[in-house]
Chains A and B, each alone.
Chain A
Amino acid sequence: MTTTRLTVIGIFFIAWEVLVQSLQIPRYLLPSPSDIVVRAVIELQSPQIWHHIAATTSVALLGVVMAYILGACLGWIVYQFPYVNAALQWFFTASQSIPILAIAPLILIWVNDVFWARTVVATLITFFPVFSATYTGLNLIQLDLREVAVLFGATRGQQLWFIELPLALPVMFSGLRTSIVLATTGAVVGEYLGGRDGLGALINIARGLFDTPLVFLAIFCLIIITLSLTTLLTFIERLVLRAVL
Chain B
Amino acid sequence: MFRRLVSACVALFLLVACAGQTAPVARRAIIVGMPYIPNVQFAHFYLAAEKGFFADEGLDVTFDYNFENDVVQRIASKNKIEFALASADSILLARAQGLPVKAVMSTSQEFPVAFMSKSTLPLATPADLKGKVIGIPGRFGASYIGLQALLYAGGLTEADVTIQEIGFNQVPVLLSDKVQIISGYANNEPIQLAAQGTAVNVLRVADFYPMASDQLIVNEALIGTEKDVVTKFTRALQKGMQAVSDDPAAAYTTSLKYIPEAKPSDQSVTTDVLKATITMWKANTSTFGLVQPAQWAKTHELLRAVSALKEDLDVSSAYDASFVLAK
Contacts and interface: CB of A to CB of B under 8 A. Distances in A.
B140 A205 contact: yes
Contact of B165 (A109, A195, A209): A195
Max chain A C-beta neighbours (<10 A), residue from B140, B141, B168, B176: B140
Nearest to A209: B93
A33 interface: no
Interface in A204-219: 204-205, 207-212
B166 A108 contact: yes
Contact of B138 (A205, A209, A211): A205
User: Could you tell me the dominant secondary structure of chain A's interface residues?
Assistant: loop
Contacts of B72: 210
Interface stretch (A5-13, A23-31, A136-144): A23-31
B138 A204 contact: yes
A194 B73 contact: no
A28 B99 contact: yes
B278 to A, nearest CB: 28
A109 B172 contact: yes
Contact of B99 (A196, A204, A207, A210): A210
Contacts of A209: 93, 97, 140, 308
A194 B98 contact: no
Contacts of A28: 73, 76, 94, 97-99
Contacts of A166: none
Given A207-B69, A208-B141, A210-B73, A105 B167 contact: yes
A105 B168 CA distance: 7
Interface string A168-210: 0000000000000000000000000111100001001101111
A210 B139 contact: no
Nearest to A25: B77
Interface string B94-118: 1011110000000000000000000
B217 to A, nearest CB: 13
Contacts of A112: 178
B167 A210 contact: no
Contacts of A193: 167-168
Given A26-B98, A193-B167, A209-B93, A109 B173 contact: yes
Indicate the size class of the contact surface on chain A.
20 to 34
Contacts of A210: 69, 72-73, 90, 93-94, 96-97, 99
B100 to A, nearest CB: 9
A114 interface: yes
Contacts of A201: 138-139, 165
A113 to B, nearest CB: 10
B169 interface: yes
Nearest to B173: A109
B137 interface: yes
Max chain A C-beta neighbours (<10 A), residue from B163, B165, B172: B165
Contacts of B138: 194-196, 201, 204-205
Contacts of A105: 167-169
Interface in B58-74: 69, 72-73
Nearest to A112: B178
A201 B141 CA distance: 13
A109 B169 CA distance: 8
A29 B97 CA distance: 10
A222 to B, nearest CB: 18
Interface string B154-175: 0000000001011111001100
A204 B99 CA distance: 18
B97 A194 contact: no
A207 B140 contact: yes
B93 A108 contact: no
B161 to A, nearest CB: 13
Nearest to A114: B165
Given A28-B76, A109-B173, A209-B308, A194 B140 contact: no
Contact of A196 (B93, B96, B165, B168): B165
A209 B76 CA distance: 14
23 contacts: A26-B76, A26-B99, A108-B166, A109-B173, A109-B176, A194-B138, A194-B166, A194-B168, A196-B139, A196-B165, A201-B165, A207-B69, A207-B140, A208-B69, A208-B90, A208-B139, A209-B93, A209-B140, A209-B308, A210-B69, A210-B73, A210-B93, A210-B97
Q: 5 smallest A-B Cβ distances: which pairs?
A: A194-B167, A208-B140, A210-B97, A193-B167, A210-B94
Given A105-B168, A105-B169, A208-B140, 9 more contacts: A105-B167, A194-B137, A194-B165, A196-B139, A201-B138, A208-B90, A209-B93, A210-B94, A210-B96
Interface of A: 26-29, 105, 108-109, 112, 114, 193-196, 201, 204-205, 207-212
